[in-house]
Structure 1
């Protein structure tokens, strides 16, 4: 047992030494690199590969990682009440109703599951706010084009990705984007038009190979044969549930129809749907499971939420150009 020091009349002499010069220095901050390089992919880029671009890409399930087809919901006592919510279409005293991007019943729920494939989804942070994304390669993350902070100089401002972020918990860390590949730059300042919605996705190459740890989803070109089928899952970080800091899952999503658009020599779909989606979910994947595959495949990324009061649909971007963009980015920067 350590004895207390007895009270006494002691004289203590301390020799003061000046601190080392480096300890007086301001340590400063560490920032992601900016600007981020950006590549507007054209048919010339594809022809340089000297092979056909794939419209169906495999995913990756790391060894020993648990798999769940549906994420475990957050226990009821841990659910964070919405910051702001009115029933869709119902006006308040100021005659403003909640955007009809949310439809009754609201099937979304919070989860903190870090099994596969839920660990592949994450939060995208930019100087302008946040969006959602998903790993689609060893260091390749898919998110919305309109979420990218495009610069007039031709590149983009900084972007980071944190897979499976839940509040302040970041089990797999955060990494930054080093390059962005796109067919089309959607800015979204004045809304998203039909062509922008159809091509509203980019592939960000990350500074480290997160996919080796968390895995990644496969991808497949959306087919109109799947319209009306309640088979799609969606993960995003909406502002109205979890304050944009918790992943939210939407089960049994249905795609209603498609509108074909062309850009950069490719064709993509604006996929209209009435799955619940609000700001923050942009870039989050719509994905499905196929028999025999150990991982799901992304078919679209959330693009535009309808904030009118006429009950119009939301929109996602997908089609053969989506896996083609992923394939190109994975090929030139494996």
Structure 2
């Protein structure tokens, strides 16, 4: 019926495709052991890419959509400077998709939901796997100079790079567009400078714990700064989707995490950027509606346009990454290399509950 994804634009829902045909080295350990840490970034860099093992299925993808208004057309003939002119006047009105349904969860909503702290991903066999994105390209945008304080948290040297890669899991991230707080949402996986290799999907429902008006966020708001969007089609069958796992403080300061976004400074928000070798340095907890959210402090390079992008890592013998949080906010004073000057991601058990509820009610 509908696919569910997080607003960080990583597909995270079930698929009708079987998991039994993977050729990635066994055994699959699901769920991972509680103390099982992800692979270090330096080890991920040495993982060999996996080739596609099936033909790309024939599917219909949507590239655009037009909403027609009820406009009555008529024609008329008239003379202009001795010539007969045939004219069909009409109005070029702009029509938008139907508005989203918004659903705020509370303690009662998830009372009967079986919450999972570990959710496995799905690697479609018709796509190859690159553990880091290929197709590195040069960026254009606002240069970042040495010296001085900036209210954006790119910690020099900037290790981000733009890429153009439609392999898995880079097929699962993408760009979303909206109009206003209650407008529409269009998601384009692997979007790159207008290209839509997997087509587009439209949001039907937004599920969330807390609504923050912005533009500035408190730590409490960052801890719950994520939503689940129910799409109008099973996009994950085509693109695959990442897994999820609740963050453990035992992973603090480990260089495990990759981050993806559409930064305004080096791509004008038109191409994806990748940052690897990231570490989460602190965890703060906040509660609402019986849920616990985490603020994951980190010094991963981000800029405007990274917000909503995933922080994910790879676990041994799994052909998909697992998301632990989403990019939320940045410090006003990044010159302070402590908890007052770090970037913040949102995650924790609250995100687990949100994903579990969406998967159960909108499969």
Superposition TM-score, scaled by structure 1 size: 0.78
Instruction: Quote the offset at 1:324 in angstroms.
Output: 1.9
Deviation at 1:227, TM superposition (A): 0.4
Residue 202 of structure 2: aligned partner: 176
Q: C-alpha separation between the residues in 2 aligned to 1:291 and 1:64?
A: 22
Instruction: Provide the residue aligned with 2:307 in structure 1.
Output: 282
Q: How much has 1:323 moved relative to structure 2?
A: 2.1
How far 1:181 sits from its partner (Å)? 0.7
SS of aligned partner of 2:108:
helix
Which of 218, 243, 247 is the aligned partner of 2:243?
A: 218
Q: Residue by residue, what CA displacement relative to the aligned partner does 1:258-301 show, whole Å, maximum 9, x if unpaired?
A: 11110121111101111111111100000011112221110000
**d(CA) in 2 for partners of 1:29, 1:211:** 30
In structure 2, the residue corresponding to 1:209 is in which secondary structure?
coil
Is it true that 1:41 corresponds to 2:105 in the alignment? yes
Deviation of the 1:41 alpha carbon? 1.1
Find the residue that maps to 1:231 and give its secondary structure: strand
What SS does structure 1 have at the residue aligned with 2:351? Answer: helix
Residues 1:251 and 2:298 are matched in the alignment: no
Question: What is the deviation of 1:192?
Answer: 0.6
**Is the 1:286–1:301 Cα contact (8 Å) retained in structure 2?**
yes
The residue matched to 1:157 in structure 2 has which SS?
coil
Task: Identify if the C-alpha distance between structure 1 residues 46 and 127 changes in structure 2 by more than 3 Å, giving closer, same or farther.
Answer: same
The size of the alignment, in residue pairs, is: 276
1:120 equivalenced with 2:184 (yes/no): no
Residue 5 (structure 1) aligns with: none
Q: Aligned-pair distance for 1:17?
A: 12
Q: Which residue of 2 aligns with 1:265?
A: 290
Q: Structure 1 CA distance, aligned partners of 2:150 and 2:144?
A: 6
Identify which of 341, 346, 351 aligns with 1:322.
351
1:165 to 191, 198, 206: 191
Aligned pairs for 1:1-334 (under 5 A) are: 25-26=90-91, 28-34=93-99, 36-49=100-113, 52-75=114-137, 79-82=138-141, 84-87=142-145, 89-90=147-148, 97-127=149-179, 149=181, 156-189=182-215, 191-308=216-333, 310-311=335-336, 312-334=341-363
Structure 1: gaps of 5 or more residues? 1-15, 91-96, 129-148, 150-155
- Cα gap change, 1:174 to 1:46, in 2 (>3 Å): same
- Secondary structure of residue in 2 paired with 1:240: helix
Which 4+ residue blocks in structure 1 deviate beyond 4 angstroms?
16-19, 23-30
Q: Over aligned residues, Cα RMSD in angstroms?
A: 1.9
In structure 2, the gaps of 5 or more residues are 1-83
Are the aligned partners of 2:110 and 2:353 in contact in 1 as well (CA < 8 Å)?
A: no
SS at match of 1:253: strand
Superimposed CA distance per residue, residues 151-177 of structure 1 (whole angstroms, 9 cap, x where no aligned partner): xxxxx3212111100001111122221
Report what 1:12 is aligned to: none
* Distance in 1, Cα, partners of 2:269 & 2:342: 22
Deviations 1:134-155 (A, max 9, x none): xxxxxxxxxxxxxxx2xxxxxx
Q: Secondary structure at the match of 2:220?
A: helix
Q: Please state how far the C-alpha of 1:24 moved relative to its aligned partner.
A: 5.9
The alignment partner of 2:331 has SS state of coil
Instruction: Report the Cα offset of residue 25 of structure 1.
Output: 5.0
8 Å Cα contact 2:120/2:244 also seen in 1 = yes
Once the two structures are overlaid, the 10-residue window that deviates more, 246-255 or 23-32, is: 23-32
C-alpha contact 2:260 2:311 (8 A) present in aligned 1 = yes
Per-residue CA distance 1:10-52 (angstroms, 9 max, x = gap): xxxxxx9979xxx765575452211x11111112111244xx3
**Superposed CA offset, 1:63-106 (max 9, x none):** 2210010001424xxx2322x2232542xxxxxx5334000111
